[in-house]
Amino acid sequence: MSVRATETPEEPGEEAQEPLRPATAPGKAAADTGLTLVSHDGKPYRFDPGALCLELLTTGGPGAFARHEVLHGPADLVAWADRSRLPGGLRPTVTAAEVERARAFRDALFLLAADRAHGRPLRPEHVEEVNAVAAGPPLVSQLTSDGARVWAPGATGAQLLSTVARDAVDLFGGPHAGRVRECGARDCYLLFVDTSRPGRRHWCSMERCGNRAKVRAHRARTSAREGDPGAG
């Protein structure tokens, strides 16, 4: 599993979080993990879901989430791999069929992760889909004679998906499975794994939902004071 703690402390004054496990992307600086998403009001923000497999869930989803679909063709899956926490330099050859499989796998994984986050039992069809994709050969990395890590040439979309599915097996079958959560904002369905030591991560992003909650709480306090003649 590619776990890396978020760089941003969850609350002001809280100690910076330390990764519990080494990241699988040694070629990338810590600041490179996470994705830049854009809110419905057009503001970009950073979201680090904490694991590679959960990064795929930002590309769309089942049912109502289909309107956020970004995996339309092979180039879109290549672009996602590039934005993901996988080490850079991966240029997989992706077919249209692999993109279709990516969407089906992602939707199953989305529902599986949501079930886990809400303490519901995992559904067999979702587990079977993850296992079926994980059963294929994964991406291969190589060492060069000058000691650099590179991707083996000839990577395919199926290999990419297998690597993501294996990451899901490690996450949902591993010690952090109980730390998979949905953002605490009522109107936000982003899923993440809390890899912080204190385990109090509540928001997808402090920059986005954490900040919105702070603003709301401040407004509620202010209006409560104004409505109470005894206050002040």
Per CB under 5 A, contacts with Zn ion among 181-210 are 183, 185, 188, 190, 204, 209
Instruction: Show the 3-state SS of 30-57.
Output: HHHCCEEEECCCCCEEEECCCCHHHHHH
Which range of residues in 11-19, 108-116, 180-188, 223-231 is near Zn ion by CB under 5 A?
180-188
Quick one: 111 or 209, whose CB is closer to Zn ion?
Answer: 209
Q: How far is the CB of 181 from Zn ion (least distance, A)?
A: 10
Q: How far is the CB of 213 from Zn ion (least distance, A)?
A: 9
Interface with Zn ion (CB under 5 A), residue total 6
Quick one: 67 or 186, whose CB is closer to Zn ion?
Answer: 186
Quick one: 117 or 165, whose CB is closer to Zn ion?
Answer: 117
Q: How far is the CB of 184 from Zn ion (least distance, A)?
A: 7
Quick one: 40 or 67, whose CB is closer to Zn ion?
Answer: 40
Quick one: 134 or 209, whose CB is closer to Zn ion?
Answer: 209
Q: How far is the CB of 188 from Zn ion (least distance, A)?
A: 3
52 binds Zn ion (CB under 5 A): no
Quick one: 21 or 45, whose CB is closer to Zn ion?
Answer: 45
Cα 79 from Cα 91, distance rounded (Å): 9
Q: How far is the CB of 185 from Zn ion (least distance, A)?
A: 4
Sites of contact with Zn ion (CB under 5 A): 183, 185, 188, 190, 204, 209
